[in-house]
Structure 1
Amino acid sequence: MVTTELFYNYLKEKGVTFFAGVPDSLLKNFCAYLTDNEESDKNIIAANEGNALGMAAGHYLATGSIPLVYMQNSGLGNIVNPLTSLTDPLVYSIPTLLVIGWRGEPNKKDEPQHKKQGLITLELLDALGIKYSVLGEENSDDEAKIEIDKAITYMKENKEPYAIVIRKNTFSEYKLKNKIATNFDMKREEAIEVLLDYLNEKDTIVSTTGKTSRELFELREKRNEGHEKDFLTVGSMGHASQIALGIALNKKDRNVYCLDGDGAALMHLGGLAIIASQEVKNFKHIVINNGAHESVGGQPTVGFEIDILGIAKGCGYKEVFTASTKAELQENMKKLAKCEGPGLLEIRVNKGSRDDLGRPTTTTIENKEALMAFLDK
């Protein structure tokens, strides 16, 4: 196992002083350490991985020092474009250290959304021409230092990116200390249970990835309701709103609710403008804002620092509402259900979830087929 503090300190010793990325559960100890020990302008939690690489490239252009970009391997999908058209040696030749959490590693149990990406992670790096090393719990601190030395030497000599791929349980435990304190009425699961009371028999939900979909599934079980009305977007972070838009455009006889999160909405914020441009009257957007990437370690987002309602209104949403208490949520869910959309409701909640929170017991294919049958009625 690699000591999280040592890994960070050795990177600093080798001249890596700028960090950007999107947190990952396999990197949560490292990301938490960065959050607690780096200045906010030296560790930037980006909207998406491509943005992080853009910032890293800018840092290199301004300073000549090698930056680090951290991500889950699913984030390779967001970063392929700037890797091939910005940092690649055939273009601007910008060295960047990529630290990538390897979800879905072959022969390791993981969730369905990680299976394909896990299988092709190393193949994708090979296809991109990016040299890499792999670290796991079997590796020592000294071995981690050797891999960092190898990466730094390679990047300085070749002026191109290098990746360190991180297996599960590589880093020693580190608990995030710098937590945002909030005092709202509800946590996310409580808010979801309230809003379910205001949906009718034909309404459809598209829920974002992470704990939101898990809680929605378990609440349906608790309420003895079926799952056919819900599309659980178990992966594809940031794309739930566009899935919901595609459904809403073709099923105008029913309300389609996108159950989004602050981190997911931020990842592809431009989607709000496209939703508004379509003037979809039956599109209802709910952003549950806890100011954190909770599903992957609780690192902060800028969710509480921005005006989500103002952004939606500026994009052209017809109606916008906010709620931070149960009473406000009940009142504004009535308004959202009745309004001519697209409409948006931001619900501010405290971070936190049940320790015994489970995962969907239906397969992704069963979820898809049940939803399609429901929408065909």
Structure 2
Amino acid sequence: MLDAKSQATCPAHAPANHPKVPSEKVGVLLANLGTPDDYTYWPMRRYLNEFLSDQRVIDYPKWKWQPLLQAIILTKRPFSSGAAYKSIWNHDQGESPLMTITKDQTAKITTAMADRYGDRVMVDFCMRYGNPSTKSKVQEMVAAGCTRILFFPLYPQYAGATSATANDQFFRALMEETWQPSARTVPAYFDQPAYIDALAGSVETAYAALDSKPDILVVSYHGMPERYLQQGDPYHCQCQKTTRLLKERLGWTDTDIISTFQSKFGPEEWLKPYTVDHVAELAKQGKKNIAVIAPAFSADCIETLEEINEEIRESFEHAGGERFTYIPCLNDQDAHISALSSIIQDNLKGWLD
């Protein structure tokens, strides 16, 4: 972290009592979904309350949703969600895998930006829900002299419940600044060649380590209510295009790969096919050897390490499946860091050349 006070100086020709001003920098603020501070009841409840109270995520009227959330869901769900987090928790560092991986990604991108721009760029990360908050990191960047901030939601495919709500929180943070920095947001990057290459490389590496090629690659995306698609959210289309581009990059046919959607919540119809049901159907159809990848996540988290690698695996095996290979998210792989760094550099054009 840059020390704003040690680098602050009075502007030229300013009176002696003028407050010191830090040297100008450009901030790059990476943003991910978030994580509870701990898997015990109260930290889980605080995290779930913030997450499930976001109307970008659950858009039911507050008068209808909040009583149900506060009186029923948040009474029970912290226990089950806490148990799921406990099963994947990084106990050595006292944090979730998402936090660990995001820190590693940030450190590597910081190095890449320093190599390219020297000390003119400050890189940090925030979480939409939980800590470190978007507001706190915007405040730190402004205090460190960032007169421009590039905000980068780490979601390859745009969705109102992910990219948009992250941007919303960034804009709210800017509203509280006396001297607002100039701001840009990074758009979805699902069709960027470097991202697709990194995905394909992870599949090729995983397949090369197996003694037999899986019958099919299941490309599992986080789901959303089908209603959101009808309202104009482009997420479903961008997911389908990601799968198509990945298939073309690998040189595969339609029978080698399929898109599915996971993490259904509530009574509504969500995007289909549902991953947990479809892997069972594949096993019943005789596809006993499958691989699963989750391109909508930039880092492994509860939805991949617990839901895919435990719940969805169990569904497949219970239906007669024999071999289940989970291909990890791109995390801090060099190809991924290179792709993200390239996207950042493209979006800094005009600010830094």
Normalised-by-shorter TM-score class:
0.3 to 0.5
| Higher relative contact order, chain-length normalized (CA < 8 Å, sep 6+) | 2
- Give the structure-2-normalised TM-score: 0.34
